[in-house]
Amino acid sequence: MSIFSKLSFKDQAFKLRENAILDATTSILGSKGYDLMTMDDVANAVGISKPSLYKHFKSKEDLVGEALIRLIDGAVDFLAQLDGQLKPIEKLTDLLEWALRVRLEGGMPFLPSTSAHVRDMLMRNLKYITRVLKLNGQIEKLVKDAQQSGDLNPDLPSDVILFSYYSRTCDPAVEYLQKFSKMDNEQIVKHMLQVCLSGISA
């Protein structure tokens, strides 16, 4: 075995554990949220000790930032992999559907706008901001194109559509339906999409 492959093997193991950490973080964030998630929680969930955790991420903020970046990257990848022929409105719908499924399967809300603490923290995370702006640029363009082509309401300011769209990815109605209704995930996704697009009125 050459030195290179050995190093690369170590690196691979390291990367693998890093992913396990991010998975655990994502899941714990999804259930308890930022403030209640302790670094001990994460370490225990992965089966390592806290100092080992800090070998990978230099702080709690850093860890959560990376977990969110991975999520954003997932969204960007999802968009990139979509059939280019699709209409903007179809891309937006598919992306929202994907985001809702991620959440229903135990992931964290896509947009953790919920806590002021987390929001401030993220605003200071340049790496995160960069990714978000990239994704935002793409979505904003899709929204405007969809308005142009008459698939999204052209009379609404695109800001309103954009922020409302984002908000649907972290809509608490999802959790309430999951907890209190007998619907399965597919039905929840279907109804959330319909409400997002057409509202609740007849």
Partner DNA sequence: AATAATATCTACTAATTAGTAGCGGAATTT
Partner DNA sequence: AAATTCCGCTACTAATTAGTAGATATTATT
Which listed option, a second copy, DNA, none, makes contact with residue 170 (CB within 5 to 8 Å by class)?
Answer: a second copy
Residues in binding contact with DNA, number by CB under 7 A: 20
Give the separation between CA 190 and CA 188, rounded to whole angstroms: 5
Torsion of CA 21, 78, 116, 162, to 10 degrees: 180
Q: End-to-end distance of the chain based on CA atoms, in angstroms? A: 68
Q: Quick check: helix, strand or coil at residue 113?
A: coil
Q: What beta strand segments (E) does 20-101 contain?
A: none
Nearer to DNA, 25 or 147 (CB): 25
**38 part of the interface to a second copy, by CB under 8 A:** no
Q: For residues 159 and 144, what is the distance between their CA atoms, to the nearest angstrom?
A: 10
Position 5 contacts DNA (CB under 7 A): no
7 binds a second copy (CB under 8 A): no
Q: How is residue 18 written in tokens?
A: 């890093």
Q: Which stretch binds DNA (CB under 7 A): 49-57, 68-76, 95-103, 139-147?
A: 49-57
Q: Is 191 a binder of a second copy (CB under 8 A)?
A: yes
Question: Considering the rule CB under 7 A, would residue 36 count as an interface residue with DNA?
Answer: yes
Residues 52-81 that bind DNA (CB under 7 A): 52, 54-55, 58-61
Which residues ranging from 168 to 187 are in contact with a second copy (CB under 8 A)?
Answer: 170-173, 175-177, 180-181, 183
Q: Is the dihedral of CA 45, 50, 54, 56 positive or negative?
A: negative
- 198 contact choice in DNA, a second copy, none (CB below 5 to 8 Å, kind-dependent): a second copy
Q: What does the alpha-carbon distance between residue 120 and residue 56 come to, in Å, rounded to a whole number? A: 23
Residue 131's contacts (CB-CB under 8 Å, 6 or more residues apart) are: 69, 72, 73, 76
Query: Which residues sit at the interface with a second copy, rule CB under 8 A?
Result: 31-33, 35-36, 89, 111, 113-117, 150-154, 156-157, 159-161, 163-167, 170-173, 175-177, 180-181, 183, 191-192, 194-202
